[in-house]
Amino acid sequence: MARAAEDIAPAPIDRAIARIRAVYRSWNRDTTIARMRSDWDAAFGGTTAPVTCEGVSAGGVDGEWISPANAPKDKAVLYFHGGGFRVGSVASHRDLIAQIAVASGCRVLAINYRLAPEHRFPAALDDAQAAYDWMLGQGFEPGNIAFAGDSAGGNLALAAMVSLRERWLPLPAAGVLMSPWTDLAATGASYVSRAEADPIHQRPMILALAQAYLGGQGDPCDPLVSPLYADLTDLPPLLIQAGDRETVLDDSVMFADKARVAGVEVDLQVWDGMIHVFQMFGAELPEAHRAIAEIAMFLDRHLHIKAERASS
């Protein structure tokens, strides 16, 4: 006999969506930004992954080293969290970062860059660059560093690379981007074609976040605001992961296409049935677990982590 619909357990992706919606639905027009940030941290903070966490000031930017056992001391990932430049922190993303650290065997430096609307563009980008400069000052070689980020953090990773390239400064070895927000003008066709499939993010919300980040006079097509509009020549190899249910999908697809034309090595992975930054649910979603494994393999190819661990 077929089970009644109400007796069928929800799919893992539906449980992940419900967790996100529960946070959003607790907010209204009177909810303060501080409350939104604390709610987001409480909903997604914490980790049971076997890592050590150590606070650090990275060039004046609050950060945290998240380290698995026996990680090489001379290799690292610099991580920029997502949250639309408005919410999110190392705390809210600690589990995702820890999962990447454990899977790759590499230390991760995650930073709490300044958030909008109190700190508009280019404050977050300035903090990203300050943290990278600090790492170089600590003796890390650019070829032993990878940038990584999700959503707005993916934007920061790319914008920092473009800024470094424009100033003839050394770039990191590679970049990992999860659902990167590359176009703050939100021109992608997926904002329409995926509107019904995406349970969380719609174009008006994306544009409101962009306006908060830029202020009244900011240009969403500035290459350092929206890397989609930048000259992408000479950027390092990139791994881009996105879900096929997200309205922000074309931010990844269009960027990957443009980067390839510029001669950049790009591996674009679009995951069936997945939502924006589905990797945050690595403990719940088999697809997220596999995606993190793909990230680990990409990082090892470009940072040679396993070879160094084996020789130490």
Instruction: Just list the catalytic residues.
Output: 151
Could you tell me how far CA 51 lies from the centroid of its own chain? 20
Q: What single DSSP character describes residue 287? A: H
Q: Cα–Cα distance between 295 and 307 in angstroms, integer?
A: 17
Phi, psi for 217 (deg, rounded to 5): -105, 0
Amino acid at 150: D
Question: Strand order of the sheet with strand 238-243?
Answer: 51-58, 61-68, 107-111, 76-80, 145-150, 174-178, 238-243, 266-271
Q: Mark out the alpha helices in the chain (DSSP H runs).
A: 12-25, 33-44, 90-104, 123-137, 152-166, 190-193, 203-214, 249-261, 286-303, 305-311
| Residue 48 backbone zone (phi > 0: left; psi -120 to 50: alpha; other: beta) | alpha
Residue linked to tokens 């909810």? 31
Could you tell me how far CA 105 lies from the centroid of its own chain? 19
First to last CA, the chain: 59
